[in-house]
Chain A
Amino acid sequence: MSVDQRVATYAAKRALACAFIVWGIATLVFLMIKAIPGDEAQSAAGITATPAQVEQVRHRLGLDHSLPVQYVDYLGRLAHGDLGTSIVSFRPVREELTERIPASVELVGSAMLLDVLVGVPLGMLAAARFRRTTDNVVRWVAILASAVPLFWLGLMLQSFVGLKLDLLPLSGSQTIGKESPRVTGMATVDALLAGNLSGFGDAVAHLVLPAVTLSIPFIGFVSRITRSSIVGTLQSDFASVVRAKGASESRIVVRHALPNSLGPIVTFAALQFGWMFSATVLVESIFGRPGVGSYLADSVTQKDTFAVLGLVLFIGTVVAVASAVADMIQLLVDPRIRAAQVGAPA
């Protein structure tokens, strides 16, 4: 088998494992639906429904069948992309979701960029100053950062930077009147595509506070992962060989330790995409961004249980896929893992 074929085989296996996880999550969500107390048909039809309507919903959802049949039906509906229907707006969850994905991707993407740009150098610094004061300070900052309740941080930033200092817009994703035609659904990208520079600046300004909020706890995690991975490398035998070649400590960190730590860092970043996506539920509604997270938060507030569970399933899928992608990326950046997984250099 050629190397490409082996990589393809590995990718296929990983995809299969991912499919298993998604199926598992779907099952979990099915169980959650069954855990809803009371008559499911009544809940799904909404409190205002007439008994006839309830019976209609019961029939439509197959709730008059046995549990195994219901389960198979449920999986079948999922396979067709049916994530359920909102009991508030009576719109299919998928419809509203698709409209909102781009805004969330835009937010998560910029938050990831931020925390890698800050967290990785912070971790490198701590590793280079291993067990000295700087290291300890970074450690405290990291622990504090990962203990910050996101929703509160968002509110505080909004109150001080937005309200008191009036530096940045409080909410929304752009100022009315500065919008560009919707292409991707991401305000910044659409502005660029339309060549609308002031619109772009406006969209970025709207993005700053939510992105900073979302990234802070993750900066803590990224810096700690980076640090421990680099410290490990600096203590390995080859680091001493490089030192014996006459390399400076900073060269060892940048040229050797960092590339060796790329695997863990990149994996973490990919996993983080999933986690951040789920954390948007705490941030987006505060900043009034029309994303998946604020949809989920609204659904909770409106007791729209079926929408909530549909969204949980969707976000779970995003996380599972992100972790599969993480494994694939690692295969590409680390020749050792490549060797271990597919047996030969790519």
Chain B
Amino acid sequence: MTTVPPVLDVRDLTVDVRAAHGPVRLLHGVSLQLRRGERVALVGESGSGKSVFARSLIRLDDAMTVGGSVQFDGADLVTASERRLREVRGQGIGLVFQDPLSSLDPVKRIGDQVMEPLVIRGVPKREARERARDVLDRLGVPNAARRMDAYPHEFSGGMRQRVCLAMAIVAEPAVLIADEPTTALDVRVQEQVMQLIEEISADGGPAVLLITHDLGLVAGFAHRVAVMYAGRLIEVAGVDDLYADPRHPYTRGLLDSVPRIDLHEGDLTAIPGTPASPFHPVGGCPFHPRCAAALEHCAHEEPLLTVLPSPMPFHDRQVACHRAGEIVHGRTA
């Protein structure tokens, strides 16, 4: 968009895990940039590698081998020391996970858990407590000062997720990654939590990467959308472009499976076939076994993520499909 460098610049990120028969690649060279104030959604079916992406940015799992580069705050997190990484975790990049109940230590008081990112960094207890209370207040936890002495099991699902959000932002990170933050919540609470995340990111808040499998959440929230399939980004576009004109057949499939008020149940289309698994890789385009538009060529050569020129300025978008040029609105012309 501008020449301002992105706050988070991920290039060619690869992740491997050890398995019984040698290493298995979970991410195949993912590149994604996040700019200040930007809200990006990362979408894809369950198992496509979204969580692995989020976790490997700050190298949360030592069982995973991470390659490529993750530029953040002048350092490459892929090669950074454990010590530097600990500084970035929480204070540079905040993470919110899917299940708010299992995200909280069941035997520690809420207040202590929210304060923890500050306490770790030597902020005096009293000040940390105050800041934690402020954040909880801001996130709409009623009676925050008193509730800080309660335990997680005394909170409702929605309140717990607010607590998790508070833990992620209390140290004022530059990037907030929310991995399916509403999946475990009921619909009414989902909206509130999305609203909160939007408020957090407004005016000078962190850039947000929202991970979800629910395209319905994305429309009113994100500026840009990245679509992941089989550990690869297969389409990256501005949110309006993506909804109006999805170029990858997979994206199209995802959009078709979002329930819409104007359609009846029967009209929903699921993407046929089984989702790709990193443990059973296929040659060529990873989506070709499920793709209605697949040509013979697709089974042999993997399409690269390439920039599609756009008539409108700043609306460049990227697609990884051999037939992207021919496809309009996700269907072959």
Contacts and interface: CB of A to CB of B under 8 A. Distances in A.
Are the chains A and B members of one assembly? yes
Interface stretch (B100-108, B206-214, B227-235): B100-108
Interface in A224-280: 236-238, 240-248, 251, 256, 259-260, 262
Interface stretch (A29-37, A89-97, A198-206, A331-339): A331-339
B106 A336 contact: yes
B111 interface: no
Output the residue of A241, A248, A339 with the most chain B CB within 10 A: A241
Interface in A125-180: none
A241 B150 contact: no
B180 interface: no
Nearest to A251: B120
B72 interface: no
A51 interface: no
If over half of A's interface residues share one DSSP class (helix, strand or loop), that class is named, otherwise mixed; here it is helix
Contacts of A259: 105, 107-108
Contact of B105 (A242, A251, A262, A334): A242
Contacts of A240: 55, 60-61, 97
A173 B61 CA distance: 54
Contacts of A241: 95, 97, 103-104, 164, 167
Nearest to B61: A240
Nearest to A261: B107
Interface in B93-132: 94-95, 97, 99, 102-108, 116-117, 120-121
A202 B88 CA distance: 56
B170 to A, nearest CB: 9
A334 B86 CA distance: 29
Contacts of B102: 236-238
Contact of A243 (B60, B91, B105): B60
Contact of A335 (B61, B103, B121, B153): B153
Nearest to A247: B120
Contacts of B107: 259-260, 262, 334-336
A334 to B, nearest CB: 6
A172 B266 CA distance: 86
B91 A246 contact: yes
A238 B153 contact: no
B99 A245 contact: no
B8 to A, nearest CB: 15
Given A241-B104, A245-B90, A336 B121 contact: no
A345 interface: yes
B28 interface: no
B116 A245 contact: yes
Given A240-B60, A241-B97, A345-B154, A246 B106 contact: no
Interface residues of B, number: 33
B13 to A, nearest CB: 17
Contacts of A246: 86-91, 117, 120-121, 171
B135 interface: no
B254 to A, nearest CB: 27
Contact of B104 (A238, A243, A345): A238
A259 B116 CA distance: 15
A35 B103 CA distance: 57
Nearest to A244: B95
Nearest to B114: A245
A335 B116 CA distance: 20
A237 B97 contact: yes
B77 interface: no
Interface in B64-93: 86-91
A335 B95 contact: no
B89 A243 contact: yes
Interface string A175-217: 0000000000000000000000000000000000000000000
Interface in A321-346: 334-336, 339, 345
Contacts of A262: 107
B89 A245 contact: yes
Contacts of A238: 102-106
B58 interface: yes
Nearest to A252: B105
B221 interface: no
Given A256-B108, A335-B153, A245 B103 contact: no
A262 B106 CA distance: 12
B243 interface: no
Given A238-B104, A334-B107, A244 B90 contact: yes
A335 B151 contact: yes
B20 to A, nearest CB: 16
Closest 8 CB pairs of A and B: A246-B90, A237-B102, A246-B89, A245-B90, A244-B95, A245-B117, A335-B151, A241-B103
Interface of A: 236-238, 240-248, 251, 256, 259-260, 262, 334-336, 339, 345
Given A238-B106, A245-B171, 9 more contacts: A237-B103, A238-B103, A240-B60, A242-B116, A243-B89, A245-B89, A335-B106, A335-B107, A336-B153
20 contacts: A237-B99, A238-B105, A240-B55, A242-B105, A243-B89, A244-B60, A244-B168, A246-B91, A246-B171, A247-B86, A247-B116, A251-B120, A259-B105, A259-B107, A335-B106, A335-B107, A335-B151, A336-B107, A336-B153, A339-B153
